[in-house]
Amino acid sequence: MNSVYFNLSFDDVHPESSGDGTDCGGDRDGGVFRYFPRLLRKCPELKITLFVTPNWIDKANDSFFLRNMKRIFGMKYFNTWVGEPFLLTKHKDWCSWLNSFKNIEVAVHGYSHHADRKLHSQEFQDMGYNDCRERLMSAERVFKDAGLNYVKGFRPPGWGISDGLFEALKDLKYDFISLDSVACNVGDLSRYKVEDYRGLWNVPQNWDIARGTIDEALEILEKYGLLMAKGHISDYYDGERIGNGLNGVTFGRLCELFERMKDKKSCFVSMKEIARRMA
Ligand SMILES: [Zn+2]
Distance (angstroms) between ligand 1 centre and the Cα of 69 equals: 28
What percent of the chain is predicted at pLDDT more than 90? 82
Distance (angstroms) between ligand 1 centre and the Cα of 173 equals: 22
What percent of the chain is predicted at pLDDT more than 70? 99
**pLDDT tens, residue by residue, 3-21:** 899 999 999 999 999 999 9
DSSP code of 62?
Answer: P
CATH number, domain of 131, equals 3.20.20.370
Distance (angstroms) between ligand 1 centre and the Cα of 180 equals: 12
Q: Which of 175, 231, 219 is nearest to 199 (CA)?
A: 175
For the chain, the domain total comes to 1
Quote the CA–CA distance of 8 and 51 in Å, as a whole number.
11
Least confident of 144-148, 189-193, 204-208, 271-275: 189-193
Mean pLDDT confidence for 255-279: 91
**pLDDT tens, residue by residue, 157-214:** 999 999 999 999 999 999 999 999 888 888 888 889 999 999 999 999 999 999 999 9
User: What's the pLDDT at 239?
Assistant: 85
In this predicted model, which residue has the larger pLDDT, 56 or 67? 56
Distance (angstroms) between ligand 1 centre and the Cα of 196 equals: 23
**pLDDT tens, residue by residue, 236-250:** 999 889 999 999 999
Distance (angstroms) between ligand 1 centre and the Cα of 265 equals: 32
Query: Which residues are within 8 A (CB) of 26 and not within 5 positions of it... i.e. 6 or more apart?
Result: 14, 15, 16, 17, 18, 19, 20, 94
User: What's the pLDDT at 155?
Assistant: 98
User: What's the pLDDT at 123?
Assistant: 96
Q: Where are the beta strands (DSSP E) in 192-265?
A: 195-197, 200-202, 207-208, 226-232, 236-237, 240-241
DSSP three-state, residue 147 = coil
Separation of first and last alpha carbons in the chain = 23
Quote the CA–CA distance of 247 and 90 in Å, as a whole number.
27
User: What's the pLDDT at 79?
Assistant: 86
- Whether the predicted model's global pTM rises above the 0.85 cut: yes
Mean pLDDT confidence for 27-51: 97
**pLDDT tens, residue by residue, 84-112:** 999 999 999 999 999 999 999 999 999 99
Residue 84: count of CB within 10 angstroms of its CB: 14
Quote the CA–CA distance of 10 and 193 in Å, as a whole number.
19
Instruction: Report the mean per-residue pLDDT for the chain.
Output: 94
User: What's the pLDDT at 105?
Assistant: 98
Distance (angstroms) between ligand 1 centre and the Cα of 177 equals: 14
Distance (angstroms) between ligand 1 centre and the Cα of 233 equals: 9
- At 1, the pLDDT band (50, 70, 90 cuts) reads low
User: What's the pLDDT at 222?
Assistant: 93
Q: Which of 232, 116, 53 is nearest to 125 (CA)?
A: 116
Mean pLDDT confidence for 39-68: 90
Structural domain harbouring 66:
4-278
